Structure 1
Amino acid sequence: MQTSLERIHEKIADLETKISHLRIAERELLALDKVAARQTKVAPSPAPKAKQKPGPKHASRKLQTSKPLASKAAEPRQSLAAAISEVLDQHGALSAAELSERINAAGREVNNRAVSFALQGLKKRGLAKTKDGKWSAGKTRGRRAASPSGVSLVQSEAAE
C-alpha cells in the first residue's frame, strides 16, 4: 500500500505535467493571435459622395449663425498663415518670435520654425513683408476692382 507521501508526490507530478501542457497550449494560442493580428484586412472602398451645388452666400451666413455651439467646435481651425495675418493686422510689425508668442497666447501651440515657414510663404504671395527683422502685413487681401470697361488689363494688352 502506498503511503500518503507517495500519493502526494504522484499528484504533484500529475499537476506539473498538466501545467506544462497548459503552457504549451498558451504559447500556441499566442502564436495564433500574433498571426491573426499581422493579417491586414482590406478596407471597403468608400462610396462616391454626391456633390452639392453651392447655395447663395448670404443664406449660408444666416445658417452659420443659427448652428448650435457643438457644431462650431467641430469646425476646422484657422490656418497658421491666416492666424499670422490676423495678428499682424491687429498688432502691426512684429518679429517672428513675437508672432509665435502671440499665437501661442491665443491658444494655438506653434513653434518658431513653423511661424518662419508660414511667414516665408506669405512673403512669396505678397501678403507679408519684412523690414529690420520685423514682419508686417503686405498688401490687403481684398479683391481688385474691375476696370471701368469691364476688360482686364491682360485682355486689353492681348487685343492690341
Structure 2
Amino acid sequence: MDTSIERIRAKISELEAKVADLRIAERELKALERLPAPKTRKTRVAAAPKAKPTPKAKAKRGPKAKGEPRSQTIGSAITEVLDKHGSVSAAEIAEHIKASGRDITNRTVSFALQALKKRGLAKNTDGKWSPPKARSK
C-alpha cells in the first residue's frame, strides 16, 4: 500500500511531465508564429479601375487666444483633486471633476486612477485614493 508521501511524489512527477509537454508545445507554437505566412498569388479578373478618393479639406486651427485656458488632462485633474481633498473614493473624484464643468464618467476616472497608480502618482487604501507620500531627498 502506498503511503501518502509516495502518492504525492507520483502526482508531482505526473505534473512535471505535463509541464514539460506544455513547454514543448509552447516552443513549437512560437516557432510557427515567427515564420512568415506564405503569400498566395491570385489571378485578377479585369475590373474597373478604382477612383481615387478626393482629398478632404482639413479644419484649420487658429492660434488660441491668450486668455483661453489649456485643456487639462484627466490625470492632472485627478491629481489636483487628490492634492486638494486628500483621500477620496473614485466616485467622489468623478463628482469633483464634474463639478468643475468637465463631462466625465466613473469608468474613465477608474482607468485613469489605475494608470496613475502604475506610475506611482496615486495609491489606493481601503477603496480611498490618495496622493503618494512625499519622499525626502
TM, length-normalised to structure 1: 0.44
Aligned residue for 1:97?
91
Which residue in the other structure is 1:65 paired with?
none
1:126 matched residue in structure 2: 120
* Structure (1 or 2) with the greater helix fraction: 1
TM-score, normalisation: structure 2: 0.51
Deviation sequence 1:21-75 (CA, Å, 0-9, x none): xxxxxxxxxxxxxxxxx9731369xxxxxxxxxxxxxxxxxxxxxxxx93332x5
Alignment of 1:20-99 (within 5 A): 40-42=53-55, 70-73=65-68, 75-99=69-93
Question: What's the CA shift for 1:134?
Answer: 0.2
Q: Residues of 1 paired with 2:133 and 2:115: CA distance?
A: 14
In the comparison of the two structures, how many residue pairs are matched? 81
- Give unmatched runs, 5+ long, in structure 2: 1-50, 58-63
SS at match of 1:104: helix
Work out which structure has the larger RCO, using CA pairs closer than 8 Å and 6 or more positions apart in sequence: 2
Report the Cα distance in structure 2 between the residues aligned to 1:130 and 1:123, rounded to whole angstroms. Answer: 8
> By how many angstroms is 1:139 displaced?
4.7
Cα distance per residue 1:101-153 (max 9 Å; x no partner): 0000011110000000000000000000000100000155x9x96xxxxxxxx
SS in 2 for 1:135: strand
Distance 2:73 2:133 in 1: 19
Following TM superposition, where does structure 1 have runs of at least 4 consecutive aligned residues deviating by more than 2 angstroms? 69-72
CA RMSD of aligned residues (A): 2.8
